[in-house]
Chain A
Amino acid sequence: MAVIEVENLRYRYPRQERLALDGITFTVEPGEFIGVIGPNLAGKSTLCQALVGLVPHFYKGAIGGQVRVAGLDVHRSTVAEVSRRAGLVFQNPFTQISGAKLTVYEEVAFGLEHAGVPREEMRRRIDEALRLLGLEAVKDQSPFALSGGQMQRLAIASVLAMEPEVLILDEPTSQLDPAGTEEVFEAVTALCRRGMAVVMAEHKVDRLAEHADRILVLHQGRQIAYGPPRQVFARENVAALGVAVPAVTQAAKALGWVLEDGTYPVTLAEAVAVGQARRGGR
């Protein structure tokens, strides 16, 4: 059963005329990794905020349609209720990290303390979150002594320790180097294999093409496409609207390297396979 159900979601920020989101409809199953792409101002961050209830409860404004996350009607629930089931990781880890804690371990404990989680349970969850995000070796360090990639993984671990059913990430790798970016994608993929549903807004389409199960394309608040990466990136309207498409897909389209199902390769491995077949068959 779907853990996220969004139906005809429309939203307008206060004192704005334009709809920030206009007719968004999609569902996400447990264990699915959804990438949200589109140009800036397409509504990616707004959608992330809408999935955890910050839109409309914190930002106010006018909302229509329905958002159900982990069984909760988000528009009729408080942010506190939703946040127990859906965690949001912000773009900049500095925004997320409390600054009040001296070690990585305590930082992960921060949210749990506030939620009144019993001590033994807290220890179990922290250890697991640190292990999943590969932060055990730095658990006694100051959060501010970490590298960018480690800090972003700490932000994810802190959200993860709350054991949400759904994890929302808003451009979590924008400050990271390539290795740090890959660390985040690997960690997120591992969480999906354990049944967590993940929604990630991201500009790095070639990484999403490798890892995401489905891609949601937004443009000026409207939903342009939703489906598996190969189908989405094959669509003409996606590239035409200035939405980034993986470089290997652009090349395959230019060369007519079409797959049997009428789509084009979106990952390096797919493109290598098609390219070898084409060039070998000369």
Chain B
Amino acid sequence: MMSERQPIIQARDVHFHYTPGRPVLKGITLDLGPGATAIVGQNGAGKSTFVRLLNGLLKPVEGQVLVAGVDTRQMTVAQLARTVGLVFQNPSDQLFKSRVLDEVMFGPLNLGFSAQEARERAEAALAELGLEGLEARNPYDLGLAERKLVTVASVLAMGTPVIILDEPTIAQDQVGVRQLGAIVDRLARAGRTVITITHDMEFVARHFQRVLVFQDGRVLADDTAEAIFAQPELLAAAGLQAPPITRLGQALGLPATVLTVEAFVEAVRAGEG
């Protein structure tokens, strides 16, 4: 009996290779649903390949990916784009319009929104990323950090239930990272499914409830951020370390795993009180 709604994304024993004999994904089974999920792991672990299977850019060699219950093999990339929005790691793979505003309006227009609606959505997305005033600029005249934020705005403006961000914090300064974190928080609170690949463990610790550790084409661990960062050996096996503040808490023998500076300060004060 189906008592719960099915997860919006279901991966079932997914295998993938670009070249036969060189497997990139070696059997991934998991569900993804509302909230913020981080995918971490070393370069080459299969993270970016996996998310490209979720929006149908790639199809599994074996196994299947179901999006809203439908096998991605039965859907076109254009159909999937209504459900799954993907922000690429490299903005040059994504940007192609000569004005920032046109770039961000492109997705909503393609989904069938009117020009007026598309414009409103684009302007709201640009504002949320602190990009007001850049509407008329050419994306290629912007620095890498701003170009990346434009690609995030483009996908946000589409309002898809699933948003995938591949390495959003690259080249961002503290302000940019905080803006992206606030967006992840807002989307997760609104019940959207946010999936983010990142090497920034502080970003993961602060904004993500669930963490998937990828290693060599497999899921090595799938748990809460607290549980993952409490396991130094597991992290080491995947070439990772918990954020410094978490390791400081561990070294000082704090009773619980702390994920942020604020939690650390609070835990130390509680111990002193």
A contact set with B: CB distance below 8 Å: 38-41, 91, 147-149, 171, 174-181, 203, 206, 242-244, 246-248, 250-251, 254-255, 268, 271-272, 275-276, 279, 282
For the complex with contacts A178-B201, A268-B251, 15 further pairs of A-B residues with Cβ separation under 8 Å are A40-B146, A40-B172, A178-B239, A179-B42, A179-B240, A203-B171, A251-B268, A255-B265, A268-B244, A268-B248, A271-B248, A275-B252, A275-B268, A276-B251, A282-B272
CA distance A86 to B52 in the complex (A): 41
The smallest C-beta distance from A140 to any residue of chain B, in angstroms, reads 18
Check if A244 sits within 8 Å of B244, measured CB to CB: no
Chain A residue numbers with a CB within 8 Å of B174 are: 39, 242-244
Given contacts A176-B199, A179-B239, A248-B245, contact A279 B252 (CB under 8 A): yes
Check if A40 sits within 8 Å of B143, measured CB to CB: yes
Pairs across A and B, CB under 8 Å, 24 listed:
A39-B174, A40-B171, A40-B175, A41-B143, A91-B144, A147-B43, A148-B43, A177-B240, A179-B42, A203-B171, A203-B173, A206-B244, A242-B173, A242-B174, A247-B202, A251-B248, A255-B265, A255-B268, A268-B244, A268-B248, A271-B248, A275-B248, A275-B252, A279-B268
Closest to A203 in B: B173
Check if A39 sits within 8 Å of B173, measured CB to CB: yes
Check if A177 sits within 8 Å of B243, measured CB to CB: no
User: Contacting B251 at CB < 8 Å: which of A180, A247, A272?
Assistant: A272
Chain B residue numbers with a CB within 8 Å of A246 are: 244
Q: Is there a chain A Cβ closer than 8 Å to B271's Cβ?
A: yes
Q: Is there a chain A Cβ closer than 8 Å to B53's Cβ?
A: no
The smallest C-beta distance from B147 to any residue of chain A, in angstroms, reads 11
Instruction: Give chain B's interface secondary structure class.
Output: helix
Chain B residue numbers with a CB within 8 Å of A275 are: 248, 251-252, 268
Closest to A269 in B: B251
Chain B interface category by residue count: 35 or more
Which residues between 85 and 114 of chain B lie within 8 Å of chain A, taking CB atoms? Answer: none
Per-residue 0/1 for B44-59: is the Cβ within 8 Å of any A Cβ (1 yes, 0 no)?
A: 1000000000000000
Which of A171, A175, A180 has its CB near the most chain B CB atoms (within 10 A)?
Answer: A175
The smallest C-beta distance from B199 to any residue of chain A, in angstroms, reads 5
Closest to B199 in A: A177
Chain B residue numbers with a CB within 8 Å of A41 are: 143
Chain B residue numbers with a CB within 8 Å of A148 are: 43
The smallest C-beta distance from B135 to any residue of chain A, in angstroms, reads 19
Per-residue 0/1 for B141-174: is the Cβ within 8 Å of any A Cβ (1 yes, 0 no)?
A: 0011110000000000000000000010011111
The smallest C-beta distance from A95 to any residue of chain B, in angstroms, reads 11
Chain B residue numbers with a CB within 8 Å of A175 are: 167, 170
Chain B residue numbers with a CB within 8 Å of A272 are: 248, 251-252
Q: Is there a chain A Cβ closer than 8 Å to B140's Cβ?
A: no
Chain A residue numbers with a CB within 8 Å of B269 are: 255
Which residues between 234 and 262 of chain B lie within 8 Å of chain A, taking CB atoms? Answer: 239-241, 243-245, 247-248, 251-252, 261
Check if A251 sits within 8 Å of B245, measured CB to CB: yes
Check if B239 sits within 8 Å of A247, measured CB to CB: no
CA distance A171 to B241 in the complex (A): 21
CA distance A93 to B119 in the complex (A): 37
Per-residue 0/1 for B193-206: is the Cβ within 8 Å of any A Cβ (1 yes, 0 no)?
A: 00000010110000
The smallest C-beta distance from A171 to any residue of chain B, in angstroms, reads 7
Chain B residue numbers with a CB within 8 Å of A203 are: 171-173
Chain A residue numbers with a CB within 8 Å of B171 are: 40, 91, 171, 174, 203
Which of B167, B268, B269 has its CB near the most chain A CB atoms (within 10 A)?
Answer: B268
The smallest C-beta distance from A134 to any residue of chain B, in angstroms, reads 15
Closest to B239 in A: A179
